[in-house]
Amino acid sequence: MLLQSEIMAAQSISKTEAEVARKLGVSFMTYRKYAKMYGVYGRVSNGPCKGVSKPIKNEDAGKYPLNQILEGKFPNYSTNRLKVRLIRSKRIEPKCAKCGFCESRLSDNAIPLLLNYIDGNTKNKKFENLELLCYNHFFLNVNNPFGRRKTFIASEDIVQRDSDVQIEVSPETGNETI
């Protein structure tokens, strides 16, 4: 049997309904039954479908500490993961270094930025060599963000065949004949 005062005390120091049940030492279904009976179910600070904010992960711990990556000890570390970790640890501000673009997309609430290596060497992951650019400035200053630029070079045999073709224009009709 759970008392209303016990439930309300546990709710005041908990973030979720499941956490209240754990603090009371009962199953979630038992907690819910008594909380509904007393009319106090759903009074926890976290509403439905909102989630609970987690503490910021220590970026300087683990297999690839961020400070060691920025010192250049892991040259093959993923560029996309490095960008995410730099923004998450607040070491780099999520805006374009050239124009200050920092608007997020409506679809996924992400800011479309790319990590640029100032000297062009993707193995040089030192902090002084990194900057965030919007897609426009990345394309203008670096290259196509989706791969190499496509260049179309005509082969010599096509150019030679075109030079052998002669077009004659009939003066009477104005029609072209090859």
pLDDT given at position 158: 47
User: Is pLDDT above 60 for 165?
Assistant: no
What's the CA gap between 43 and 149, in Å, rounded? Answer: 57
What's the CA gap between 73 and 160, in Å, rounded? Answer: 53
pTM assigned to the model: 0.54
* pLDDT tens for each residue of 9-20: 999 988 888 899
Q: At 175, is the pLDDT very low, low, confident or very high (cuts 50, 70, 90)?
A: low
* Selection from 115, 120, 43, 104 nearest residue 80 by Cα: 115
Segment among 30-39, 52-61, 89-98 with least mean pLDDT: 52-61
What's the chain's average pLDDT? 81
Q: At 54, is the pLDDT very low, low, confident or very high (cuts 50, 70, 90)?
A: low
| Average pLDDT value for residue range 80-93 | 91
DSSP the chain: ---HHHHHHHHHT-SSHHHHHHHHTS-HHHHHHHHHHHT-TT-SSS-TT---PPPPP-TTSSSS-HHHHHTTS-TTS-HHHHHHHHHHTTSS-SS-TTT---PPPTTT----EEEEETTS-TT---GGGEEEEEHHHHHHHT--TTSSPP-----HHHHHHHHH---EE-TTT--EE-
* Selection from 95, 138, 98, 99 nearest residue 116 by Cα: 138
| Distance from the first to the final alpha carbon of the chain | 100
pLDDT given at position 132: 93
* Percent of the chain residues topping a pLDDT of 90: 45
* pLDDT tens for each residue of 88-144: 888 999 999 999 998 988 888 888 999 999 888 889 999 999 999 998 888 888 776
What's the CA gap between 82 and 110, in Å, rounded? Answer: 16
Asked whether the beta carbons of 59 and 89 are under 8 A apart, the reply is yes
pLDDT given at position 28: 93
